[in-house]
Amino acid sequence: MAQDIGTGSEDANFKMASRPATAPKQPPPESSKSIKTRGLVILSFWAVVVFLGLPVWLWTTSIYRASLPLQDMLDWADGKVFVPNSNAARHALNVLQACKPTFPLQIAIEAPFLQEVEAAHLVRMTQHALDDLNEFSAHHLRLRLKKTFLSQDPQNASMAVTEDEYAAGYLKDYGATDGMDVEALTVRLQPKTGAQAARAELQSHSAKLDVFYASNQAPSVSSSSSTLATFIAGKLQELFAEEQAIIAYILQSAQTMGQASQIALSASSTPRELRPRFHRSLNPELAAKMDSRMTRSLKYAPTYHITVSLFTPSATPSSWEIESALAEYFTPLLDSISGVSNFTVDTQVQLYAAFSPSVQSPEYDTEQQTWTLREEDLSGFINAAEWPLSPSIGAGPTLNFVLYVPDRSTSPLVVKGSRASSWLIPQWGGVVILNPQDTNATSSEATLSKESIQPALLTFSHQLLSFLGAPQTPPSLPLQIQTLTRLRAASLLLSASSTMGSLARLTVALPSIAIPETVSSAVDTTLMHLRTTCDSLKGGKFRDALENARIAEIQAEKGFFEKSMVGQVYFPDEHKIAVYLPLLGPVGVPLLMSALKELRRLWASRKIRQPG
């Protein structure tokens, strides 16, 4: 400061000396003290602006953004692709958490008629054969010999006891396990005299595979290969082929999506050749098939609403015995899937339901003596404008099952070409055309009996399974439901992860979006449950995995669709100018000019002092 004063006075002296003598009168020289005061005044004004005004302005206009673990979230979305590059240290934590969904399936082998050593040998060989067959490492079958008390004592009576035990039903057993998963499948080996080759039978109401083999096929301990082992391995592989394909497809599509978004988002230097090894490439036709399956099936939800509707273009039939029919043909299925999702069912009757004008009215096919609907009209069959098929109230998507009873004048009604009378509308529901069975049954015209609805309800059951994403094979329902558990856990895991990624990208892309604390906690919960899901999958606890994945998904959605994030604070520029300019203009200009003047003076005085 002392220097400043010095230069100030020098400057004043210099100016006085250099002033031309022609000027009539000069103002008296300014004292160094007043120059110093002026400098201090300007400085203090600026100090107020910079240290008080600016922080207050920033503080009052700032948006609260809770901190999110962005890198973690993006990593989950990218399927935890570990990048072994220079900043590996930074990722060290993530590597520890890296998740690679695996599906180890326990399969029990019961061989009550074999010696324990023999049986163990057979299991080992079958496992080898299986491992050779399996080319998809994420999904693998682990065989385990189940020690039955029969192994030493092959008696038919005892055998019957075990059968009864198992006949009690897998479903109950399955529902009762708390977290600990039982075997995915039990293989029972039974010798059958007189059989030439081994034969396998899958029980359709329990997760059991009966293998009957000729007694000469029983492997000896010494032999290194066995036709029976190969046969069992092949059979098992066949049973789980579709599930493997679906899981592979889900993983792959998630991967490609993650990569696509990554490419789109930023030119990050992730080396893409380092894909996880489970990425078995699918052959195109299988992929196409899977594609159509996936677009058809609904997004997972803990609760689905099912609406069964009766539509008819005239006033009859105006009632149906739906309550008893549902209880008999539909509810058992829903009960058995309740481990995966819950369902609510409602029904309605709608009379005078006309086609939408875009649909061509049915044509009469004289050859077949039927009325036909064109196939291209099926997509517009549901008259969305007039038929009251609004979604049910409450959380969860609604599945619509429409039973359409055509007018007597246009029945029987079928689809042209395929002559089908039912079809699916992807992610929406199913339609069944119920043609009146008998044209002369006039007495029961107003009411549809339970028996006449039965075929339609069975069709709806099939459609429901495919909407849930259950595989067509194997034909055993418990196995299908188990598969469904695994598939849902996997797809939920992936979808929650990708939601995390989207949320992370969103917060980066929109700096003006507010992030409340609830989002941050939702993200934390999601990540925690994702980790647990991954561990449960590895441990083969698929029900636990589904439970955790479900919570993760709900939390992820909650975070992403947080209400206060949607409403962004938005002030258009002209608005800002209109508010700020009237004050900042008249105040800012004198402040700025004085600061410039002062700076110029300082600069000039320094310049003079340096040569001197």
Partner 1 sequence: MKRFFCLLLSLLLGLLVSADPDYKELLNLQPLNPASLLASFNFWSKASLQSYEQQHFKYIPRSLGQILQHAKTRELHLRFSTGRWDDESWGARPWGGTKEGGTGVELWAWVEADSDSGSFARWVTLNNALSGLFCASLNFIDSTRTTRPRMTFEPTSSVSNTSSENMYLLHGTLPREVVCTENLTPFLKLLPCKGKAGIASLLDGHKLFDASWQSMAIDVRSVCSEDGSECSIEMEQTVDMVLDVDRSKRPRDNPIPRPIPSEHLHCDISKPYASNEACFPSDADLGQSWTIAEIFGRPIQGSCLSEDSQGQLRDSVCINVPLDREVNPYGDAVETKNEAGSGRCFAIPASKPFEMVLSHIGPQTFNDISQPPLYASRSFTGHGQERGGVQTLLTNPSRTSSIEFVYFETLPWFMKPYLHTLDARLSTSSTSSPEIIKETFYRPALDRRRGTQLELLVSVPAASTVVLTYDFDKAILRYTEYPPDANRGFDVAPAVIRLLPVEGQAEVYIRTSSLLLPLPTPDFSMPYNVIILTSTVMALAFGMIFNLLVRRFVGADEVEGWNLAALKAKARGRAMALLDRVLRKGKEKKVQ
Binding site for partner 1 (CB under 8 A): 23-27, 30, 34, 38, 41-42, 45, 307, 315, 318-319, 322-323, 344-349, 351-352, 354, 386, 388, 390, 392-394, 578-579, 582-583, 585-587, 590-591, 594
- Of 169 and 582, nearer to partner 1 (C-beta) is 582
* Nearest by Cα to 313 from 419, 364, 387: 387
**Least gap, CB of 463 to partner 1 (angstroms):** 20
- Of 180 and 581, nearer to partner 1 (C-beta) is 581
Q: Which residues of 545-563 are buried (b: 16+ CB within 10 A; e: fewer)?
A: bbbbbbbbbbbbbbbbebe
- Of 294 and 349, nearer to partner 1 (C-beta) is 349
- Give the separation between CA 187 and CA 115, rounded to whole angstroms: 16
- Give the separation between CA 507 and CA 310, rounded to whole angstroms: 47
- Angle, helices 573-609 vs 2-18, to 10°: value is 80
> Taking the CA of residue 524 as centre, how many other CA atoms within 13 Å lie in the half-sphere pointing to its CB?
8
**Least gap, CB of 316 to partner 1 (angstroms):** 9
Number of H helices, E strands in the chain: 19, 15
**Least gap, CB of 331 to partner 1 (angstroms):** 12
**Least gap, CB of 446 to partner 1 (angstroms):** 9
* Nearest by Cα to 365 from 312, 439, 419: 419
Q: Which residue has the tokens 């003290």?
A: 33
- Of 37 and 368, nearer to partner 1 (C-beta) is 37
- Of 227 and 594, nearer to partner 1 (C-beta) is 594
Q: Which two tokens stand for residue 450?
A: 């339970």
- Give the separation between CA 581 and CA 588, rounded to whole angstroms: 9
Phi, psi of 266 (to 5 degrees): -150, 155
**Least gap, CB of 20 to partner 1 (angstroms):** 10
**Least gap, CB of 607 to partner 1 (angstroms):** 20
Instruction: Give burial (CB, 10 Å; 0-12/13-18/19+) of 460.
Output: buried
- Of 10 and 30, nearer to partner 1 (C-beta) is 30
Phi, psi of 552 (to 5 degrees): -60, -45
CA distances from 289 to 235, 245, 292, 465, 474 (A): 23, 10, 5, 17, 17
- Give the separation between CA 292 and CA 469, rounded to whole angstroms: 11
**Least gap, CB of 279 to partner 1 (angstroms):** 45
- Give the separation between CA 482 and CA 487, rounded to whole angstroms: 9
Report which DSSP code applies to 515. Answer: B
Q: Which residues of 374-412 are buried (b: 16+ CB within 10 A; e: fewer)?
A: eeebbeebbbeeebebeebeeebbbbbbbbbbbeeebbb
Instruction: Assess contact for 373 and 416: CB atoms under 8 A.
Output: yes
List CB contacts of 578: < 8 A, sequence separation 6 or more: none
- Of 27 and 194, nearer to partner 1 (C-beta) is 27
Instruction: Assess contact for 549 and 493: CB atoms under 8 A.
Output: yes
- Of 89 and 569, nearer to partner 1 (C-beta) is 569
Q: Which two tokens stand for residue 354?
A: 């006309």
- Of 508 and 579, nearer to partner 1 (C-beta) is 579
Phi, psi of 339 (to 5 degrees): -65, -25
- Of 158 and 314, nearer to partner 1 (C-beta) is 314
Report which DSSP code applies to 50. Answer: I
* Nearest by Cα to 337 from 224, 239, 470, 444: 470
**Least gap, CB of 363 to partner 1 (angstroms):** 23
- Of 352 and 571, nearer to partner 1 (C-beta) is 352
Phi, psi of 280 (to 5 degrees): -65, 130
**Least gap, CB of 451 to partner 1 (angstroms):** 18
**Least gap, CB of 454 to partner 1 (angstroms):** 17
CB atoms near residue 117 (< 10 Å): 9
Phi, psi of 471 (to 5 degrees): -75, 160
Cα angle 183-189-193, degrees, rounded to a multiple of 5: 165
**Least gap, CB of 590 to partner 1 (angstroms):** 5
SS3 helix, strand, coil % of the chain, rounded to 5?
Answer: 50, 15, 35
- Of 176 and 583, nearer to partner 1 (C-beta) is 583
- Of 347 and 520, nearer to partner 1 (C-beta) is 347
- Of 318 and 521, nearer to partner 1 (C-beta) is 318
**Least gap, CB of 428 to partner 1 (angstroms):** 17
Instruction: Assess contact for 345 and 319: CB atoms under 8 A.
Output: no
Cα-trace Rg, the chain: 38
- Of 394 and 611, nearer to partner 1 (C-beta) is 394
- Of 256 and 319, nearer to partner 1 (C-beta) is 319
**Least gap, CB of 410 to partner 1 (angstroms):** 16
Residue type for 193, please? Answer: T
**Least gap, CB of 603 to partner 1 (angstroms):** 18
**Least gap, CB of 354 to partner 1 (angstroms):** 7
**Least gap, CB of 556 to partner 1 (angstroms):** 26
Q: Which residues pair with 422 in a beta bridge?
A: 432
